[in-house]
Structure 1
């Protein structure tokens, strides 16, 4: 898919939320970004694992792949939340979406997280 052919951010976020809800989980927008061309950060969490933040990063072939940007550490869980808040402040176009469901990575086509 070419950059110009990307799905508008608000539609992609809406689709993620509906898919997680349909699977019995909970999803919410933590921070709204630019409606059409905003970037998306997905925070995956559930009771059994630490939170993980994924962002799409440009690849050499021109594609954009979900990459693990940050993982919550058990020793200092607040640091992860502070980092997410700073990311939102740094990029006004950024959408931050939390997916609270087991194996949340499946909704962004990433291999399941293992500790």
Structure 2
């Protein structure tokens, strides 16, 4: 089995890297520090982008894929429903240019 970062360490690394690149990141909901699932709300200059979730693919490799409604106004309800069924879920927001590249570089 390949070693991997805990959820808490991964979240910290994503936020730290966003800040190093001149953006910002924040934890909207704290999940399980070891193995919680992670949702990331991407943004650039305050304009919401994709909502991503880290999932295992068929080969056992983590990939980031879009999740939830495309309509930004419906996302808070979606996230609230997800947190009710999975209290270990992390929800973070990264507001930085090239956010998707940052996520793929750190989290894969």
* TM-score normalised over the length of structure 2: 0.84
Partner of 1:57: 55
Distance in 2, Cα, partners of 1:64 & 1:93 = 18
Structure 2 unaligned blocks of 5 or more: none
Matched with 1:99 is 94
Deviation at 1:106, TM superposition (A): 1.2
Q: Structure 1 residues 60, 19: CA separation in 2 closer, same or farther (over 3 Å shift)?
A: same
Cα distance, 1:49 vs structure 2: 4.6
CA distance in 2, matches of 1:47, 1:70: 21
How many residue pairs are counted as aligned between the two chains?
105
Out of 63, 66, 69, the residue aligned to residue 67 of structure 2 is 69
Structure number with greater CO (CA < 8 Å, separation at least 6) is 2
Q: CA deviation at 1:71?
A: 5.2
Long gaps (5+) in structure 1: 111-115
CA drift at 1:38: 1.1
Bigger radius of gyration: 1
Q: RMSD value over aligned CA atoms?
A: 1.9
TM-score (norm 1): 0.80
